[in-house]
Amino acid sequence: MSLTRRSFALHLAMTPGIGGRSVVRILARNDLLGRSAEAFLRLSPESLREEYRLNVKQAANLAGGSVEATAQLERRLDALGVRLLTAVDAGYPALVEEFDPDPPGVLFLHGNVRLLSAPTFAVLASRNTAPEGLEQIDRLTEESVLNGETLVTGHDRPEYQRSAIVPLRWGAPRILALDRGLFQVLGPDLKDEAFRAARLWRYEFDPGTDLAISPFRPEADFIGANNRVRDRLVASLARRIDFVSAAEGGNMARLARLALKAGRRVRVGTAVSGRDELLAGGAEPLDEDPGHGGVSEPRSHRA
Domain boundary among 80, 102, 126: 80
In a domain, 99, yes or no: no
Mean pLDDT of 263-267: 98
pLDDT value of residue 65: 87
Percent pLDDT > 90 in the chain is 91
Does some domain include residue 283? Answer: yes
Q: Residue 113 pLDDT more than 60?
A: yes
Whether 220 maps to a domain, the answer reads: yes
Q: What is the pLDDT of residue 288?
A: 54
pLDDT in tens, 31-63: 999 999 999 999 999 999 999 999 999 999 998
Amino acid at 63: A
Are 4 and 38 in contact, with CB atoms under 8 Å apart?
A: no
Query: Are residues 30 and 178 both part of a single domain?
Result: no
Average pLDDT over every residue of 297-303:
37
Of 63, 33, 29, the C-alpha closest to 46 is: 63
Q: Give the pTM.
A: 0.92
What is the predicted pLDDT for the residue at 2? 76
Q: Is the pLDDT of residue 289 over 70?
A: no
Q: Is residue 22 part of a domain?
A: yes
Report the percentage of the chain scoring pLDDT > 70: 94
Are both 66 and 209 inside the same structural domain?
no
In total, how many domains does the chain have? 2
265 is a domain residue: yes
Domain extent, residue 210, equals 111-292
Task: Report how far residue 159's alpha carbon sits from residue 172's, in angstroms, rounded to the nearest whole number.
Answer: 19
Query: Which tens digits make up the pLDDT trace of 118-152?
Result: 999 999 999 999 999 999 999 999 999 999 999 99
What is the C-alpha separation between 257 and 261, in angstroms, rounded?
6
